[in-house]
Amino acid sequence: MYINMKWKMIFSIGVGGSLGTLCRYQFNMWTLFTAYPLGTLMENLLASFLLGGVTGWFFIRKGTDWLKAGVGVGFLGSFSTMSTLAADTVFLLRDDVNFSFVYLAISLFGGVGLALSGMMLGRSIGNVRNGESPPSNAE
């Protein structure tokens, strides 16, 4: 049983990672017309939001471990990229120090903010799907 689950996890992370990498590559191809690393910024912000949403969803709706790992670690982990964020920031430092810091601040604070927003949305959707009403602001 343990070995079977281990292989399910490895397979789901591998498939998710492959798909996430392909999506990241395609996303970067769509944004090459800009002189700035717009693709990396958008990928990381979108991945933060989606990972927050998936995490919030799985707080409410219990999913299988291999599915959580395939989507979270595999797909979204490979769709986002910390190493490219770091490299882009260093490259931008050579050309425009101020823009480099703006890029880094948007990436970090935007990523955390969007992850939190995604988590709240994922939990709300998970609650509605479970037949519970979403929490009101009056509480």
Tell me the per-residue pLDDT of 109-130, one tens digit each, with 9 for 90 and over: 999 999 999 999 999 988 876 6
The answer on whether 12 is annotated among ligand-binding residues is no
DSSP 94: H
| CA–CA dist 58, 102 (Å, integer) | 33
Neighbour tally for 7: CB within 10 Å: 11
Nearest to 123 by CA among 58, 49, 33: 58
Task: Report if pTM > 0.85.
Answer: no
pLDDT at 139: 45
* Domain spans, the chain: 12-129
CA angle 134, 136, 138 (to 5 degrees): 165
* Residue 75: exposure state from Cβ atoms within 10 A (0-12, 13-18, ≥19): buried
The answer on whether 80 is annotated among ligand-binding residues is yes
Average pLDDT, the chain: 88
Q: What's the rounded mean pLDDT across residues 86-94? A: 90
Helix axis angle, 97-129 to 82-95, nearest 10°: 150
Confidence of residue 131 (pLDDT cuts 50, 70, 90): low
